[in-house]
Structure 1
Amino acid sequence: MDDGANDGETTGAGAASARAQRLVLLIAILASFVSFLDGTVVTVALPAIQRDLGGGLATQQWVVDAYLITLGSLILVAGSLSDVFGRIVVLRVGLIGFGITSIAAAAAIDPMFLIVARGLQGIAGALLVPSSLALITSTFRGPAQSRAIGTWTGATTAAMLVGPVLGGAFVDLVSWRLVFLINVLPIGATLWLLAILHQRDKRRAGATVDWLGAMLCTVGLGGAVFALIEQERLGWSSPAIWGTMVIGILCIAGFLVRQRFAREPMMPLGLFRIRNFSAGNLATAFVYGALSLNGLVLAVYLQQGAGLPATLAGLASLPSTVIMILFSSRVGTWAGKLGPRMFMTLGPLTMAVGMLLLLTVREDFDYWLQVLPSVIVYGIGLTITVAPLTAAILGSIEPERSGIASAVNNAVARIAGLVTVALLGMMVGGVLDLQGFWRVAIVTAAMFALGGVISFAGIRNPRAVADVSPSM
């Protein structure tokens, strides 16, 4: 009788644990989906925003980069905030803030209002991704963690790809303003799931927030990005350009010095002594920088250069979305068994091939022959890359530091996108014509290829995987 009762209790506990894991995974996906979706859904609406509110290529760059500046710099603070106040609390605050700032962006009356609202959105978005991913890494262990990360990356990266589809439909059928309100439903659903999770929040005793480091990082990135975007209009000889660039560089240097000596650094430099963490983040910089640049340029060129409506421009990336949804979890499982190195090498190289296929685009535009092959090859490479990349980086760090490790990796990804978007004007000469489109395709191909080479040279499979791989 007692044994039966114990077995029943064990079974009940196991079922409760499985339910909690499913809830955590769903919460992490939805919360990150909000941030990733907003980062890409806007790109397809940029031509419509420009027609309505005014501004040229620089305004389009700022609508993207205002979000990325605050997201990329404050995502590091979010990792510390999660340790101080708890991941669930930070997640809840981020969701509410994101909803409010999304409504503000939808109500924008001029470019400056929209750019400010986008910057505030980035602050709220910075609270979402590290906390949600840290929930996964603290809840799942072993192969289950690799599968969960694979599912998370598939769903959240699919948000990056499906965003232009939804955005294009709203732009053509209703208004670009509704693009910023897409997140209302997932925000509400995530807040409800957090309420029924009933999981005790985790805080780290003695944790503090490095506010000085946050200020240095934000001012440094803002100054450098301002110079890179506005130099096309003002020229490098303008004090407003070289002055802000100098301030930006000095603040970034100050940030690194601060991280070296701060008691509770936002970005512990010691993490970079771990081989897979440093190599994985370097690969992340090239891969995600290319992802952001390609996403913006393809969405804008298909409308302004090829003459497609916003809906069709958004649908152009749909095959990649389907591939990600179907295979990301499976790739995450394979990477957990075989190790991430092979996937992180072949994936970016495959994406590089996909980018080179865009060189077939001509004035007499044909999506089926000139763009679709690139999108399919690119989607395959992206699916092979993303889950193993995330697992390799977070798997190299002990679970109790997963929050800050996740924040650093996400900051690297967003800052890389921030810089490449800021450099767009220099690449295309201020006008995104066919020649500029080709130049961007070559640059992104080179960046993807470098990401693959770095992964091959720097990533090492975990010892347990390396021991069993030869016999498989």
Structure 2
Amino acid sequence: MQARHPKLTLTACILASSLAFIDGSVTNVALPAIGQDLHATPAELQWTINAYLLPLSALLLMGGAAGDHYGRRKLLIGGIGLFVVASLACAVASDLNLLLAARAVQGIGAAILLPNSLATLSNAFTGEERGRAIGTWAAASAIAGAVGPPLGGWLVDAIGWRAIFFVNLPLGLAAIFVAWRYVRESADGALPLDWPGAIAATLALGALTWGLTLWSSHRAFDAASATGLGAGLALIALFLAIEHHRGDRAMMPFAMFGSRAFAGLTLLTFALYGALGGLLLLLPYVLIEGGGYSALQAGLALLPMPLGMGLASRVMGPLTVRVGPRLPLSIGPLIVAAGFAALVLVAEGAPYWSTVFPGILLIALGMSCVAAPLTTAVLASVDDTHSGTASGFNSAIARTGGLIATAIAGAVIAAAGAGLIAAFHAAVLVGCGFAVASGLIAWATLGGLSAKPAQPPR
């Protein structure tokens, strides 16, 4: 049934998702300022990002399932409200522990509002109108991601790092008002929620992240990091056992992995988006600390990436329908790998246009070959009964890759001076390797996979 207020429903969903997309990119350029003000160590700075990504990665599927069960409008408004309250707590945090706690609550709010904003659109529109609404939502999300770094840089330079969290308040309150006033409630009466799986996944990611963060920031594999990694691996095994036991009632049904293509796409997503997440964290930090950039300049340095992806992705959707996802998902990561390799030109005092821009441009071009075909391929790799779960799981895997990459990035953040640039060069070469592996995985696992019209996740 078509929404009674379609434009306002779309507006509410765009405002809600913009909170998460902006906050996912805006904080990176503020890390040096946060570190100086709150006297944070490199490991603690990593947790400023990880505290947000951890609950977002682990609870994204649960957030969508809870909306299906209890009502998407209700969960959408609740997620926005939680995000707004947590943003205010971030803005007024007097020490790092309070900031990290508030960032974790932000991540929980984002894990609730993101899937329910898209599911609300899916339920509110039908036919071609649904496709246009989803396309508008995706374009607005790309714009929000593009605006984040330069907006954050300007706010940090002009006002201070706390302003990047205050800006969420009017946006969130507007989203709550429009959703409460104009969005129609919907629910499917879904199966009982997979709380055991969600708890095990959260604990597993938390232990792994803690162990990797200690290992990378201390540059030593000691007893504490070994304990964290061991506990994380054991909890992953527990999570897999729980999901296997729950069958079709699991948040990660094992039946999806009966598809070779879906398994390959999961590995591709983890490796490629992990490399990209690490770069989006490290590059602004290195430009500010090692290159003498202001926060605004560092934010603007990233701008060609989301803009280039947004423009080129419009061409890739129709092309994927004609040629299938295998070719673009094999070639795109190799172009990304070339972009990572080009970033070894970054050096102290080196000009932006000849050192940073070529790599950023290549990465934007390569990722534009990946974004639309990846969504299409994920939906085509499983049967229709698992399409919504598969799409949500792939999104969670992308964020998990970024979470793990951020945990490992401490080895770069802990360096200083010429050592910082050298560590960054090593990191981008590792990212290059992961991108190459992603392309090879796509070529090896997607043979015979044809595109089918994308269905929005529910």
Q: State if a TM-score over 0.5 links the two structures.
A: yes
Equivalents in 2 of 1:390, 1:465: separation in Å? 10
Deviations 1:378-405 (A, max 9, x none): 2122222112212321344456644433
Deviations 1:328-350 (A, max 9, x none): 33433433444322222222222
Compared CA separation, residues 334 and 17, structure 1 to 2 (3 A): farther
**What is the letter of the counterpart of residue 221 of structure 1?**
L
**What is the letter of the counterpart of residue 308 of structure 1?**
Y
Match of 2:422 in 1: 435
Please say if 1:35 is aligned against 2:47.
no
Q: Which residue of 66, 75, 86 maps to 1:81? A: 66
Deviations 1:399-449 (A, max 9, x none): 664443333112111111111111113467655611011111111122222
Deviations 1:205-261 (A, max 9, x none): 4x11122222211111111111111234394333x3322222221111101110000
| Structure label with greater radius of gyration | 1
Unaligned segments of structure 1, at least 5 residues: 1-12, 467-472
Compared CA separation, residues 171 and 406, structure 1 to 2 (3 A): same
Compared CA separation, residues 18 and 343, structure 1 to 2 (3 A): farther
Match of 2:370 in 1: 385
Following superposition, the deviation at residue 460 of structure 1 comes to: 5.0
Q: Which residue of 240, 261, 278 maps to 1:256? A: 240
Preserved contact between residue 348 and residue 452 of structure 1 (Cα < 8 Å): yes
Equivalents in 2 of 1:204, 1:89: separation in Å? 14
Describe how 1:35-434 pairs up with structure 2 within 5 A: 35-137=20-122, 151-195=136-180, 197-205=182-190, 207-231=191-215, 232-233=217-218, 235-238=220-223, 240-262=224-246, 264-397=249-382, 401-426=386-411, 430-431=415-416, 433-434=420-421
Preserved contact between residue 153 and residue 295 of structure 2 (Cα < 8 Å): yes
Equivalents in 1 of 2:443, 2:131: separation in Å? 20
- SS at structure 2 position matched to 1:128: helix
Following superposition, the deviation at residue 34 of structure 1 comes to: 1.6
Compared CA separation, residues 57 and 114, structure 1 to 2 (3 A): same
Preserved contact between residue 320 and residue 451 of structure 2 (Cα < 8 Å): no
More deviation in 158-167 or 175-184?
A: 158-167
Compared CA separation, residues 277 and 29, structure 1 to 2 (3 A): farther
Match of 1:6 in 2: none
Match of 1:9 in 2: none
Equivalents in 1 of 2:144, 2:313: separation in Å? 13
Equivalents in 1 of 2:237, 2:441: separation in Å? 24
Please say if 1:456 is aligned against 2:440.
no
Equivalents in 2 of 1:258, 1:166: separation in Å? 43
Following superposition, the deviation at residue 372 of structure 1 comes to: 1.2
Match of 2:456 in 1: none
Preserved contact between residue 165 and residue 318 of structure 1 (Cα < 8 Å): yes
Equivalents in 2 of 1:218, 1:60: separation in Å? 20
Match of 1:5 in 2: none
> Kindly, what percent of the aligned residue pairs are identical?
35
More deviation in 97-106 or 148-157?
A: 148-157
Following superposition, the deviation at residue 375 of structure 1 comes to: 1.6
Deviations 1:255-304 (A, max 9, x none): 11100002621211211223443222221111210111000010100000
> Aligned pair count?
449
More deviation in 113-122 or 76-85?
A: 76-85
Equivalents in 2 of 1:26, 1:348: separation in Å? 33
**What is the letter of the counterpart of residue 230 of structure 2?**
V
**What is the letter of the counterpart of residue 200 of structure 2?**
L
Equivalents in 2 of 1:161, 1:446: separation in Å? 26
Equivalents in 2 of 1:107, 1:163: separation in Å? 20
Preserved contact between residue 18 and residue 141 of structure 2 (Cα < 8 Å): yes
Equivalents in 2 of 1:25, 1:68: separation in Å? 26
Compared CA separation, residues 92 and 143, structure 1 to 2 (3 A): same
**What is the letter of the counterpart of residue 338 of structure 2?**
V
Preserved contact between residue 143 and residue 336 of structure 1 (Cα < 8 Å): no
Following superposition, the deviation at residue 182 of structure 1 comes to: 2.7
Deviations 1:88-140 (A, max 9, x none): 32222111111110111111111111111111111111112222333455566
The TM-score normalised by the length of structure 1 is: 0.87
Describe how 1:4-23 pairs up with structure 2 within 5 A: 20=6
Compared CA separation, residues 401 and 327, structure 1 to 2 (3 A): same
Compared CA separation, residues 104 and 415, structure 1 to 2 (3 A): same
Preserved contact between residue 325 and residue 451 of structure 2 (Cα < 8 Å): no
Equivalents in 2 of 1:18, 1:458: separation in Å? 44
**What is the letter of the counterpart of residue 211 of structure 2?**
A
